[in-house]
Amino acid sequence: MSGQITLLEQTIAAARAEDRAALIAYLPAGFPTVDGGIAAVRAALDGGADIVEVGLPHSDPVLDGPVIQTADDIALKNGVRIADVLRTVREAHAATGKPVLVMTYWNPVDRYGAERFATELAEAGGAGCILPDLPVEESEAWRKAAEQQGLATVFVVAPSSRDERLARITAAGSGFVYAASLMGVTGTRASVGEQAAGLVRRTRDTTELPVCVGLGVSNAAQAAEVASFADGVIVGSAFVKRLLDHRDDEAAGLAAVRALAAELAEGVRKRG
């Protein structure tokens, strides 16, 4: 099986044709368990998410705030492996037919082998990889392997990125551009802020790729705000928090994830 970059592109384009933003959910693999994580990803997709990012838990997640760090710690203590991440992608995509990406720091992929990881991710039905800490200047080997396997390479841009840097990053990426709405780590916030809209405008000046915004969105109103200027709305910590809040009741946690996805899906259709 080749990777599903085309499905990813078509999904974002279909949302745009409906005059709305795509809803992209993030959930880490292996949390609260491997099977529980797969069920959570499916719940998010069944609830209304168009696309899911499956996180590869990491011991030093520099972009992730305390909520996702807590989930990663639980997954790692339970012994989650790359094979479990790939299984999560495989089962979620097979069950829903929707695009599933992996979000990971570069070190685990580098140690596993870029070509091996790209090949196995494509075989699992993955749509691509988001690599927040991989410098564009050091990404050629990965990008070549990903392109050969039909996978998107999604890079992250931030408000601090200068225009010249934005152009260099977006020229190297594929699938979409992940725009971090503000400086700092992931987490829910009271306001997404004006920085995000400005960053999206500057990014669009450099590329035809869709621009999707993450960091800080946690409810339908914020999703609608971001949907008014972005091609996609990325939500992570709010989903993970639902599972953390129901750690003793898996069914309730899955119901909460599904309900949040439905609420956010309604939000991205209101477009601010």
Please report, rounded to a whole number, the percentage of residues in the chain having pLDDT higher than 70. Answer: 92
53 annotated active-site: yes
> Residue 69 — pLDDT band, cuts 50, 70, 90?
confident
* 267: pLDDT strictly greater than 90: yes
- pLDDT tens for each residue of 132-142: 999 999 999 99
* Alpha helices, DSSP H, located in 97-162: 106-112, 114-123, 140-148
Q: Which of 9, 64, 84, 91 is catalytic?
A: 64
Q: Which two tokens stand for residue 272?
A: 């601010």
Helix 163-172 crosses helix 195-204 at what angle (to 10 degrees)? 60
Residue with tokens 């745009």: 16
Q: Tell me the per-residue pLDDT of 82-105, one tens digit each, with 9 for 90 and over.
A: 999 999 999 999 999 999 999 999
Asked if pLDDT for residue 250 goes beyond 60, the answer is yes
Render pLDDT for 7-66 as a digit per residue (tens, 0 to 9): 999 999 999 999 999 999 999 999 999 999 999 999 999 999 999 999 999 876 556 678
Mean pLDDT in residue range 221-230 = 93
Q: Which pLDDT score, from 0 to 100, does residue 184 have?
A: 42
More reliable by pLDDT, 2 or 209: 209
pLDDT in tens, 155-201: 999 988 899 999 999 999 999 999 987 544 444 444 555 778 999 99
| Per-residue model confidence (pLDDT) at position 124 | 98
DSSP 180: E
What is the pLDDT, as a whole number, of residue 271? 62
Choosing from 9, 53, 91, 225, the catalytic residue is 53
What pLDDT, on the 0 to 100 scale, is given for residue 110? 96
User: Residue 164's pLDDT is what?
Assistant: 95
What is the H or E stretch that residue 228 is in? none
> What's the chain's average pLDDT?
92
Residue 64 pLDDT: 62
* pLDDT band of 231, cuts 50, 70, 90: very high
| 13: its two tokens | 């384009």
d(CA 253, CA 113): 35
3-class SS of residue 38: helix
Tokens linked to 121: 């991710």
Active site includes 194? Answer: no
Beta strands, E only, the chain: 22-28, 51-55, 100-103, 128-130, 152-154, 156-157, 177-180, 211-214, 232-235
